Structure 1
Amino acid sequence: MMLIISFCVMIMTLLVILMTMIFFIFKKKKMKLNKMSPFECGFNSMTSKRMPFSIHFFSICMLFLIFDIEVIIIMPMIMSMKFSMMKYWMMTSISLLMILVLGLYHEWKNGMLKWTK
Structure 2
Amino acid sequence: MFLLTFMFMISMLISLLLIGLSSLFGKKTFVDVEKSTPFECGFDPKNSPRVPFSIRFFLIAIIFLIFDIEISILLPMGIVSNSFDPLSWMLVGGAFLFLVTLGLYYEWYDKTLEWIS
TM-score normalized by structure 1?
A: 0.55
Cα RMSD (Å): 2.5
Aligned residue identity for 1:99: L
Tell me if 1:84 matches 2:87. no
TM-score normalized by structure 2?
A: 0.55
Distance across 2 between alignment mates of 1:63 and 1:34:
36
- Percent same amino acid at aligned positions? 40
After TM superposition, list the pairs within 5 Å mapping 1:12-91 onto structure 2: 33=39, 46-47=49-50, 52-91=52-91
Find the structure with the greater CA-based Rg. 1
Distance across 1 between alignment mates of 2:48 and 2:65:
25
Tell me if 1:98 matches 2:98. yes
Distance across 2 between alignment mates of 1:34 and 1:88:
63
1:105 deviates by: 0.9
User: Which consecutive residues of structure 1, in runs of 5 or more, have no partner in the other structure?
Assistant: 1-31, 36-43
Give every structure 1 segment of 4 or more consecutive aligned residues whose post-TM-superposition deviation is greater than 2 Å.
32-35
1:75 deviates by: 0.4
Where does residue 107 of structure 1 map in the other structure?
A: 107
Higher RCO (CA 8 Å, separation ≥ 6 residues): 2
Q: Tell me how many residue pairs correspond in the alignment.
A: 75
